Amino acid sequence: MKLGFIGLGIMGAPMAQRLAGGGHTVYVATRSKVRDDVKAAAAVVCASAREVAQQADVIFTMVPDTPDVEKVLFGADGVAEGLSAGKLVVDMSSISPIETKAFAERINALGCDYLDAPVSGGEVGAKAGTLTIMVGGPEAAFERARPLFELMGKNITLVGDNGAGQTTKVANQIIVALNIAAVGEALVFASKAGADPAKVRQALMGGFASSRILEVHGQRMIDRSFDPGFRIALHQKDLSLAMQGARALGVALPQTANAAQLMQACAAQGWDQLDHSALVRALELMAGHELS
C-alpha cells in the first residue's frame, strides 16, 4: 500500500520504519530533519503534509498535542488540502477526545474515514512492534487499517466510535502515572529506611506488587537512566486532558491530580524533557534523599 506518516519523533520514527518494513511505500514529513535510519527504510521524504496526503491512501499522524494535530490536518499545506475521497486518516497522537470528534467530522465531510488510534508502550514498544493500540472510529475503517496496526502493535482494540480511542489513552495515562508515583514512593521509602532499592525491586517483582512499571521504570529509577522514552512534558499534557475531562464530566480524580503536581514539580526544576520515570526525583526532593 501507499502510506503516509507525519511526525517522526521518538515514537513516530520507529513506527514509520515498521510500516516500511512490512513492504509498504511510506511517504513521510516532519518538522525537523528526517532521520537517516528512516530514509534507509525506503521512506519517501515529502515537503509537506499536503504532499503526503496526495501520495498516500492511508495517512498516519503522530505529533505531540491537539493544536499540532489540528495544524497538520487543517493548516496551510495540511493533510486536508491533499485528500481525495476514499482515503483514510489515522491519528496516533494522544490528544483531546472532544477535539478528536470534531476533527473526524471535518475529515468525513471530505469523503474520507478517520480513526483515532493512540498507543501505549513507549519507544521500546514502537521499535519492537509491540504497542498497545486503542482505536476509535467506524468498524470498516478499523478493519482496513488492522493489517497496518499489526505491523506496529500486538494488543489492538476497537473501543468504540471516534473519540473512544483517545478516551482510553487518557485512562491509560492515569494508570501509568499513578503506578510510576507508587513505584517511586516505595523505592524512596525503602532506600531511606536503609534497604537496597535494587534488591527491594527484585523481591517485589515476584509478588502481587509486580508490574511492568516496577520492572522497567523501577530499574530506570535505580540506574538513574532518564533519557526519554516518554517525556514528562507529554505526560503532563495527558494528565491535563484527564483533569479537563473530569471537570466536564463532574468526576473527581484526586490521585491523578497528585501525580500531575509531582510532574509539575519536576518541570519546575527543568526536568520536563526527561523520561516520566524521573517523577521519582520530585519524591526524592521532598524526602531529602536520593535512591542509593
56, 27 Cβ separation under 8 angstroms? yes
Question: Closest Cα to residue 201, out of 226, 182, 227?
Answer: 182
Distance CA 172, CA 181 (A): 14
43-45 and 25-29 strand pairing: parallel
Closest listed residue to residue 56, CA positions, set 95, 102, 99, 25: 25
For the chain, the first-to-last Cα distance in angstroms comes to: 51
Q: What angle do CA 160, 163, 169 make, to 5 degrees?
A: 90
Contact yes or no for 51/29 (Cβ under 8 A): yes
d(CA 181, CA 183): 6
Alpha-carbon Rg for the chain, nearest whole angstrom, is 20
Known active-site residue 169: yes
Cell of 278: 524521573
Provide the grid cell at 41.
527504510
| Catalytically annotated residue among 154, 169, 192, 199 | 169
**70: how many CB neighbours lie within 10 A of its CB?**
18
Map residue 43 onto helix, strand or coil: strand
Q: CA geometry: angle at 7 spanning 233 and 143, to 5°?
A: 110
The single residue listed with the C-alpha cell 503516509 is 4
Distance, CA of 140 to CA of 135 (rounded, Å): 12
Which residues are part of the catalytic machinery?
A: 169
